[in-house]
Amino acid sequence: MPTLLTRTHLQPSPMPLAPESRVFPEFSLTRLLGTVFEPTQGCRICILIDLEDVGLAKNFAFLEAPGHEIQKRAHEHFYLGLRDGAMTDLGLSGGEMFAYRMTGGSNLDLADECWDMNGRQLSLDHDVYANYDIILCISTFSATAPLTAKCKTFGFRGATLHGVNDIILATGLAVDYDQVSADAERLRKAMTRADRIEIDFGLEDGTILTASLDLGGQEAQKSHGLCRGTQPDVANLPAGEVYFVPVDANGQFPMKYSDGTLGLLEVRHRNIVSSRLLQGDQATIDAHNARLQDDPMTGTLGELGFGTQVLPVSGADIQDEKVFGTCHLATGRDDHLGGDIVPGLFKRHENSTHDDILFAPHKTPNFDLVEVRMKRGAQEEILIEHFRPSEYLLRALRG
């Protein structure tokens, strides 16, 4: 049963390092690609975007259509950026842009059909994956999982940058990824081989919910932004995360749905089995429960992640889950993380998503991340208190 804590313990503390006081360099595509990939002379590069109406690919018609802000940024900052100097600076070739049909869900497999900017229908397998060394996917929905699978077959390297907005361009993509990688590695070492992580969530009425995640002493992994060398790999940018694939999970945690409804999720043996209304719309809870009943794999926990960067809130989870002092869970497929949840296990293709559940002050202001604890053998360490990194993690970060 949930326990109670006094309300005075439920007030989030400020971050120890204020992102608004951090000075970020101006975004440079040459610096970003050079640091992330260290491309060799002649590397062929291309850009993928997603479009709901793929007919708008012809002659870049999406540039004149309402909306399509992510795709327009892909054109301005990446497609034109390659031609305005980055390709010459880095000795790259290619630079073409292709569009594929929007998947409608995070990390769903992509259909093979794609279109070039002349409107010609092509094949991702035969015309893109097989012909380019570096692929940048700038899309509405994340394509990290499907591209990670494809890179192992076709041998390319790449980066997924879904949800790119102006804040991300000015901050999360402007940072020094050598430093991001070094920081992520320090924090990874501080958490690796953990046996268990326990998370206490505080609700506004004083209730404490606890979720316990069994990690089995596994090596922690990191999303650190570097994708160098000759081995096929796909970086998720902005990067800056330490993550695990849970072996088991039990307990309860709150979830804020997209319409603002707050539910209490019951977890047993790594699966979310039910949701109960805390506040908001009962219909939202009923819809989630119906989905869990129809396809239980949609409730399987496939990831536990911790942010490692000091960054401003961008309004997009791709950056906000990388903020130091936050953590997130994810449901669904985790094969791109080394897990065993693959698309074929789901009842329907459209259910085989990987969906992050972010716990951060701006995202979940009506509950607190009271305490996150790591247990590793006889060692027990606090990792986060009230959305604030613990002294243990700060010491690790300082080296």
Say whether pLDDT at 17 is over 70: no
pLDDT tens per residue, range 92-139: 999 999 999 999 999 999 999 999 999 999 999 999 999 999 999 999
Query: Which of 3.30.70, 3.40.50, 3.30.379, 3.30.2390 would CATH assign to domain 25-170?
Result: 3.40.50
The average pLDDT across 331-350 equals 93
Q: Which of 271, 304, 269, 301 is closest to 194 using CA atoms?
A: 304
List the beta bridge partners of residue 200.
Answer: 210, 371
Mean pLDDT (the chain) is 94
Say whether pLDDT at 13 is over 80: no
- 358 and 304 in contact (C-beta within 8 Å)? no
pLDDT at 371: 98
Q: Which of 1-10, 78-87, 92-101, 240-249 has the lowest mean pLDDT?
A: 1-10
Is residue 151 classed exposed, middle or buried when 0-12, 13-18 and 19+ CB atoms within 10 A define those classes?
A: buried
The average pLDDT across 238-245 equals 98
pLDDT at 22: 81
Q: Which of 337, 274, 277, 256 is closest to 303 using CA atoms?
A: 337
The confidence band for 180, taking pLDDT boundaries of 50, 70 and 90, is very high
> Kind of pairing, strands 3-4 and 207-214?
antiparallel
Q: Which of 157, 166, 165, 28 is closest to 84 using CA atoms?
A: 28
C-alpha 396/C-alpha 98 separation (Å) is 42
C-alpha distance across the termini of the chain, in Å: 40
pLDDT tens per residue, range 370-382: 999 999 999 999 9
3-state secondary structure of 196: strand
pLDDT at 19: 62
Say whether pLDDT at 15 is over 80: no
- CA dist 153 → 87, 127, 277 (Å): 26, 14, 44
Is residue 321 classed exposed, middle or buried when 0-12, 13-18 and 19+ CB atoms within 10 A define those classes?
A: buried
The confidence band for 6, taking pLDDT boundaries of 50, 70 and 90, is very low
C-alpha 315/C-alpha 284 separation (Å) is 22
How many CA atoms within 13 Å lie on the side-chain side of 50? 25
The average pLDDT across 232-244 equals 98
Say whether pLDDT at 16 is over 90: no
The confidence band for 311, taking pLDDT boundaries of 50, 70 and 90, is very high
pLDDT at 262: 95
pLDDT tens per residue, range 279-297: 999 999 999 999 999 999 9
Domain boundaries of the chain, sorted by first residue: 3-7+177-398, 25-170
Q: Which residues are CB-neighbours of 104 under 8 A, at least 6 positions away?
A: 141, 350
pLDDT at 399: 85
The confidence band for 9, taking pLDDT boundaries of 50, 70 and 90, is very low
Say whether pLDDT at 7 is over 70: no
Is residue 233 classed exposed, middle or buried when 0-12, 13-18 and 19+ CB atoms within 10 A define those classes?
A: middle
The average pLDDT across 227-231 equals 94
C-alpha 171/C-alpha 2 separation (Å) is 39
pLDDT at 160: 98
pLDDT tens per residue, range 21-77: 688 999 999 999 999 999 999 999 999 999 999 999 999 999 999 999 999 999 999
Say whether pLDDT at 3 is over 50: no
C-alpha 263/C-alpha 284 separation (Å) is 9
Q: Which of 129, 161, 111 is closest to 44 using CA atoms?
A: 129
pLDDT at 14: 38
